[in-house]
């Protein structure tokens, strides 16, 4: 059974603006899924269906095989944690600690368990030192981590991050990449994230959905998506720089294997160099 599945999910905003148009999306267990698309493609609208903030205009959303109802909404939100793009929308308490504790406290967990979860969640995102601070006085990147910690503390099976790198500095982006990968590796958590910055996608995703004008324009593995320049430019996205570079070297006669991540590119270029290619 899939953790999340949408079937012909369609959502129409007031004023007859189509947000989503017959979207079929699947999140299997322990996957790292990127949803890429230009601004206005429908990424946020899709994510707002994953924990019942929006209800489909038509089609359906199944969480662990069940449609979302008023009765199971709490369970669904325990199961699927969504971090929105703007952390200010999600931060509500006077201290970081209280903010991260808010969700687990609302689940009715014992105080000791809540404290333990808060400590763990702050450690996972690397902000133990901000425990006593006032969230609204933190930097954008720090606030984002507070929002992520708040969701992690709920121990969801699926973590959904809407544009998690927006507003982060380069080190913040690298930390986030490591963090997503460790959640997936260490906790077997399924992570779904959206971005229009394609360069980091191969570092973090096993599977990619490409959205355009409310539809899924394409889906596939890194190899399947990032060799399709025509597709990416037709949906107003860049081709990631590494496969582009390797392809251009190949066109110039260098025998080098295709690479999508920094580590792959380094290996490929080193081995080509040693062979004297
Ligand atoms: N509150 C809203 N009211 C009307 N239209 C909206 C609203 N929010 C988003 N839309 C429209 O829905 C489409 C998808 O938007 P969105 O899901 O925010 O895209 P993305 O997250 O990929 O940038 C866009 O055409 C956008 O203009
Ligand atoms: Mg968005």
pTM value is 0.94
Regarding whether 153 and 209 lie in a shared domain, the answer is yes
Instruction: Determine the pLDDT at residue 171.
Output: 86
Helix 140-152 × helix 170-187 angle, to 10°: 10
Give the residue numbers spanning the domain of 261: 240-277
DSSP 8-class letter at 157: S
Residues 220 and 262 in one domain: no
Res 219: pLDDT = 97
User: How far, in Å, from the CA of 42 to the mean position of ligand 1?
Assistant: 6
Phi, psi of 244 (to 5 degrees): -65, -45
Regions of the chain short of the pLDDT cut 70: none
Q: Is residue 146 helix, strand or coil?
A: helix
Pocket test for ligand 1, best of 40, 162, 209, 217 (most atoms within 8 A of CB): 40
Look at residue 190 in the predicted model and tell me its pLDDT: 95
Number of domains, the chain: 2
pLDDT of residue 202: 93
Task: Report CA-CA distances (Å) from 141 to 136, 150, 170, 250, 265.
Answer: 12, 14, 11, 39, 29
pLDDT of residue 229: 85
User: Is 235 a member of any domain?
Assistant: no
Same domain as 251, residue 203? no
**Is there a single domain that holds both residue 122 and residue 222?**
yes
Residue 39 alpha carbon, nearest atom of ligand 1: 23
pLDDT score recorded for residue 134:
96
Q: What is the CATH number of the domain that holds 197?
A: 3.40.50.300
For atom 16 of ligand 1, the residue with the nearest CA is 42
Q: Which chain residues have CB less than 5 Å from ligand 2, an ion?
A: 43-44
């Amino acid at each position: 059974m899939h953790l999340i599945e949408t079937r012909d999910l369609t959502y129409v905003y007031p004023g007859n603006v189509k947000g989503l148009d017959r979207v079929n999306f699947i999140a299997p267990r322990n996957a790292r899924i990127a949803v890429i698309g230009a601004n206005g493609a429908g990424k946020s609208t899709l994510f707002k269906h994953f924990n019942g903030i929006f209800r489909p205009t038509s089609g359906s959303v199944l969480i662990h095989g069940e449609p979302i109802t008023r009765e199971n909404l709490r369970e669904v939100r325990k199961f699927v944690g969504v971090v929105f793009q703007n952390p200010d929308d999600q931060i509500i308490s006077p201290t970081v600690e209280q903010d991260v504790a808010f969700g687990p406290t609302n689940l009715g967990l014992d105080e000791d368990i809540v404290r333990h979860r808060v400590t763990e969640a702050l450690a996972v995102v690397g902000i133990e030192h901000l425990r006593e601070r006032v969230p609204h006085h933190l930097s954008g990147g720090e606030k984002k981590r507070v929002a992520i910690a708040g969701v992690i503390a709920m121990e969801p099976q699926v973590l959904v991050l809407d544009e998690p790198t927006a507003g982060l500095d380069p080190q913040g982006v690298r930390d986030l990449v490591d963090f997503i990968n460790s959640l997936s590796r260490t906790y077997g958590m399924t992570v779904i994230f959206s971005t229009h910055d394609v360069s980091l996608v191969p570092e973090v995703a096993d599977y990619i959905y490409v959205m355009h004008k409310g539809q899924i324009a394409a889906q596939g593995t890194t190899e399947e998506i990032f060799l399709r320049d025509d597709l990416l430019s037709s949906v107003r996205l860049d081709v990631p720089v590494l496969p582009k570079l390797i392809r251009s070297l190949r066109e110039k006669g260098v025998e080098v294997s295709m690479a999508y991540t920094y580590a792959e590119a380094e290996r490929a270029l080193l081995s080509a160099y040693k062979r004297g290619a």
